[in-house]
């Protein structure tokens, strides 16, 4: 019988007894938090990992423990430059990997930003949509042929997808008043829809895609949030929890937060997670778009896993970046 994991499971829990020697895995966002722990856990179990980060010096400092773990297991770890807010950087990074030619068993699209002030990427896209979705959309699609048959794509999303569906008529907030968490929600919904569409397009060769929510963790992701706002949100969560007879909110540790990414990447059965949204190391139920949910409740909104919505987003994304993918 398969072992069941949950919200408190760590990367070491889900990888207990798992030998990843011979696996090659790409992880974006290895300069802090979840990306570093994800890479560390994978190399500690023998996987060769390629980390991607915008700031190479910062990433190299942050991943000293990853390099140490790789040396202990005989795995390899390297870092490549990737700025998801720059289509030029994304294409350059993808081209270098294609020229290198080595295949990947898994791509974990972990990097992202949250609740940023209004701004645009160098290509004119709203910062969160442009970085979290369009950056990964182009990068992953350009190197899709490097994913081995039977491989996987893991997109990090968030329960924040419940803040908003994508807006394909105004993705850059040109006519809509900007709200940081609405923009974050749009980008996190897009991460799920990208996984749904990618899974549909590549499953014939056994490549499956899944979106995951890591949970609430204290990382650099929240650097744009004021402390007072963070405390207000936690108080609101706890009030909702108390009203529902639940205990107070607890942040996950970083190893607990990275567990669902690792579980979905190399532990869970492909047919179980392909095209789905997962949290707390299991597949989430689909909830109605208008269902009232507390921030501690599980579930994925129907709009985020709707195949037609996924196709429409794919088409809009291609139009925005001026490139089509098979």
Torsional class of 4: left (φ above 0), alpha (ψ -120 to 50), beta (otherwise): beta
Q: What share of the chain is helix, strand, coil (3-state, %, to 5)?
A: 50, 15, 35
Which ranges of 74-169 does DSSP label H, i.e. alpha helix? Answer: 87-100, 127-128, 136-142
Assess whether 86 carries a catalytic annotation.
no
| Full DSSP string of 67-100 | HHHHHHHT--EEEEE--TT-HHHHHHHHHHHHHH
Assess whether 184 carries a catalytic annotation.
yes
Choosing from 9, 31, 86, 157, the catalytic residue is: 157
User: What distance in Å separates the CA atoms of residue 104 and residue 77, rounded to the nearest whole number?
Assistant: 13
Assess whether 145 carries a catalytic annotation.
no
User: What distance in Å separates the CA atoms of residue 108 and residue 255, rounded to the nearest whole number?
Assistant: 16
Which residues is 278 bridged to in the sheet? 212, 283
User: What distance in Å separates the CA atoms of residue 296 and residue 247, rounded to the nearest whole number?
Assistant: 10
Choosing from 159, 188, 277, 317, the catalytic residue is: 188
| Full DSSP string of 253-312 | PHHHHHHHHHIIIIIS-HHHHTT-EEETTEEPPEE-TT----TT---EEGGGS-HHHHHH
Choosing from 23, 67, 158, 184, the catalytic residue is: 184
User: What distance in Å separates the CA atoms of residue 48 and residue 21, rounded to the nearest whole number?
Assistant: 7
Q: Cβ neighbours of residue 302 under 8 Å, at least 6 residues apart?
A: 286, 287, 288, 289
Q: Are 8 and 263 in contact (CB under 8 A)?
A: no
Catalytic amino acids?
157, 184, 188
């Amino acid at each position: 019988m398969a072992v069941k994991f949950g919200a408190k499971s760590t990367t070491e829990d889900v990888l207990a007894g798992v030998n990843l020697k011979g696996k090659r895995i790409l992880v974006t966002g290895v300069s802090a938090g979840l990306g570093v722990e994800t890479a560390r856990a994978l190399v500690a179990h023998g996987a060769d990992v390629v980390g991607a980060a915008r700031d190479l010096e910062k990433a190299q400092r942050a991943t000293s423990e990853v390099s140490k773990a790789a040396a202990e297991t005989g795995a390899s770890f390297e870092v490549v430059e990737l700025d998801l807010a720059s289509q030029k950087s994304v294409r350059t990074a993808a081209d270098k990997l294609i020229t290198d030619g080595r295949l990947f068993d898994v791509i974990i699209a972990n990097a992202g930003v949250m609740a940023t002030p209004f701004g645009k990427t160098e290509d004119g896209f709203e910062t969160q949509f442009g970085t979290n979705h369009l950056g990964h959309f182009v990068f992953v699609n350009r190197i899709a042929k490097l994913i081995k048959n039977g491989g996987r794509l893991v997109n990090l999303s968030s329960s924040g997808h419940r803040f908003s569906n994508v807006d394909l008529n105004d993705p850059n907030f040109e006519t809509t008043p900007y709200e940081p968490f609405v923009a974050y929600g749009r980008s996190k919904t897009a991460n799920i829809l990208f996984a749904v569409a990618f899974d549909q397009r590549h499953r014939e060769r056994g490549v499956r895609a899944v979106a995951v929510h890591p949970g609430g963790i204290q990382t650099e992701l929240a650097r744009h949030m004021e402390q007072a706002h963070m405390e207000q949100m936690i108080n609101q969560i706890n009030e909702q929890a108390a009203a529902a007879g639940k205990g107070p909110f607890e942040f996950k540790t970083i190893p607990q937060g990275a567990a669902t990414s690792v579980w979905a990447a190399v532990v869970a059965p492909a047919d179980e997670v392909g095209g789905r949204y997962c949290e707390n190391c299991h597949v989430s139920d689909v909830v109605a778009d208008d269902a009232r949910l507390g921030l501690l409740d599980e579930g994925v909104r129907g709009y985020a896993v709707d195949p037609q919505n996924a196709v429409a987003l794919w088409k809009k994304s291609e139009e925005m970046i001026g490139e089509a993918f098979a």
